[in-house]
A and B are shown apart, each in its own frame.
Chain A
Amino acid sequence: MEEDEQRIWRRCEEEQQRLERSGVLLEDPQLEVYLQEVVCRLASCDPGGLVTFEVHVIRNPYLNAFAYPNGVLYVHTGFLSTIDNEGQLATILAHEMAHVTQRHAVRQFRDVKNKAAFFATLQVAAGSVGFGDLAGLMGQFGVMAAVTGYSRELEAEADVLGYERMVDAGYDPREAVEVFTFLEEELKAEERKEPFFFGTHPRVQERRENFVSLYRRSETGGSRGHVGGDQYRLAVRGATLDNAFLNLAIGRFDLAERDLDKYIRIAGEDGRTCFARGELCRQRPERCDVEEALSQYKKCLTYDPSYADAYKKLGWIYQQRGEDEIAGRFLADYLKILPDAPDKAFVQQALEEIEKRGGQ
């Protein structure tokens, strides 16, 4: 390995350590084992390969995946919870693996004469798509891999090689095309010109057509190949629930609902899903009756009587409805469970007001 490539690898390792310390990685050892199995299946198509791949998951609700030149791949919870099966996952991972095996980062880096200006441009571009903050965390090579993408030629090369890799590994080639359906939906929902994944060039529609054409050329008499829906959904269920809460926090309610539905279909209802449903209802009064929110919070407590936030939400709703006695009971229960809750002053204020009204 030449000196500049060694430097790039060292920089990448530093960027990855920063990501690991940042707390943005999802801790789900079972999921990582599963992802590693998929990568191994894809890598076995290239037994002479020199790179050892590993995959980690980033808690981020937007559709993205990226790879560092040293073979460390990252995929967002947003992508995992959106796609439907292992074939689609293999499409994404194989594309990223192609960037690694073809040393795209090094090639692009060497092609740029004024490197300082190039990286400055990358950071500005990252900011302009609303990704600037995470971009700062990832560092320069992460930004290139995750946000701005590679040149049109390098992305096209990753498309072809990634596609061949996933087909050689026995996955259903039709699933490769399906990934673009999700990317197009994300474009519409977020009103972005381009999603992050697969870079900015060529455009998503053009990329979809490329994949359709690759599929047609490689058609093998209708044999489908591996799709892996059930196993996939089971493996990503935790990431899907996590992503539901991420979407809920930033007001992407429809996507939060989709994530919840997917999780419940696999893992069933529990305290967290009921709480999340209650939150969805409460925060979308135009779409949901407050009675439904109350019912979901109460159901949450039947699954998990120690779910403090459910007591608090119930308390606030009853207080707003003027049902002081019930409100007071729930808010007091909240403080019983969390006597040092960071928002106890709000709760205590409400309890004092309730008491005052009761004494009048």
Chain B
Amino acid sequence: MILRLSALVLLLASCAVIPWQEVEGEYRSKQDEYVVVLPQGWMRANRQDFTLVTRDGALLQNILIIRHKIGEPLPLSKKALSEQMTIQEVADVLFESFQADQNVLDCELLEKRPSDLGGIAGLRIDFTFKNRDELPMRSVAYGCISESWLYVMRYTAASRYYFERDLPVFEKAVATFRVL
């Protein structure tokens, strides 16, 4: 799931059967056990296995929230996170998993630093890449580990115009994230 964001976005963008619904503030994922205040006026893909919201279309900007079981291999990889890993090791593996997506081209790491997510010590990764349509994109991902789960909240947008415009919206949503 982490790796294949782009494929997922394409699926959502092209598939008419997946319903979208307007975000109504606080969103509680019972399955993934977290709560977050999503940006008002954005649209949310109505899925059980991940949370994805967008304002102008998932290919232009989106916020994706997922959780991944510690110990299970990451998609497109045989690597798994372990509870013994330090936060910087988790950040390294997570960034490798982003890079392993063959749709993430010319990937450049801008910053990898410690940060909080939901009040839990975690990480923040900021990187640029080109998507398969050669559109320059930028992504910021927050992550933390809580009780055998990795939680990731990732914002991806077209570098030009959209990224800067909606970054504060994303950061505001990140500040509201809590593991239940």
Q: Point out residues on A near B: beta carbons under 8 Å.
A: 18, 21-24, 60, 127, 130, 132-134, 136-137, 249-253, 283, 316, 320, 342-343, 345-346, 349
Q: State whether B103 touches A251 (Cβ < 8 A).
A: no
Asked if B116 is at the interface (CB within 8 A of a chain A CB), the reply is: no
How does the 8 Å CB contact mask read for B80-121 relative to A, with 1 for contact and 0 for none? Answer: 100000111101000010011111011001111110000000
* A346→B100 CA distance, assembly (Å): 23
Prevailing SS type, chain A contact patch: helix
Interface size on B, residues (CB 8 A): 33
Q: State whether B88 touches A134 (Cβ < 8 A).
A: no
From A21, A22, A132, contact of B7 by CB (8 A): A132
* A132→B86 CA distance, assembly (Å): 32
Q: State whether A24 touches B88 (Cβ < 8 A).
A: no
Contacts A316-B86, A346-B113; A133 near B102 (Cβ below 8 A): yes
- Which single residue of chain A is at the shortest CB-CB distance from B78? A251
Contacts A21-B134, A249-B96, A346-B113; A133 near B6 (Cβ below 8 A): yes
B4: chain A residues at CB < 8 Å are 132-133
**CB neighbors of A among B1-43 (8 A):** 4, 6-7, 10
A133: chain B residues at CB < 8 Å are 4, 6-7, 101-103, 132
Q: State whether B102 touches A134 (Cβ < 8 A).
A: yes
Asked if B46 is at the interface (CB within 8 A of a chain A CB), the reply is: no
Tell me the smallest distance from the CB of A262 to a CB of chain B, in Å: 20
Tell me the smallest distance from the CB of B143 to a CB of chain A, in Å: 13
* A253→B79 CA distance, assembly (Å): 9
B110: chain A residues at CB < 8 Å are 342
B88: chain A residues at CB < 8 Å are 316, 343, 346
* A40→B177 CA distance, assembly (Å): 60
Contacts A251-B73, A251-B79; A345 near B102 (Cβ below 8 A): no
Q: State whether B91 touches A343 (Cβ < 8 A).
A: yes
* A342→B130 CA distance, assembly (Å): 19
> Closest 6 CB pairs between A and B?
A251-B79, A345-B113, A251-B78, A134-B102, A133-B103, A133-B102
A18: chain B residues at CB < 8 Å are 134
A134: chain B residues at CB < 8 Å are 102-103
Tell me the smallest distance from the CB of B82 to a CB of chain A, in Å: 9
* A253→B77 CA distance, assembly (Å): 11
Asked if B135 is at the interface (CB within 8 A of a chain A CB), the reply is: no
Tell me the smallest distance from the CB of A333 to a CB of chain B, in Å: 17
B96: chain A residues at CB < 8 Å are 249-250
* A137→B73 CA distance, assembly (Å): 25
Task: Tell which of B80, B86, B102 has the most Cβ of chain A within 10 Å.
Answer: B102
Asked if B169 is at the interface (CB within 8 A of a chain A CB), the reply is: no
* A347→B88 CA distance, assembly (Å): 9
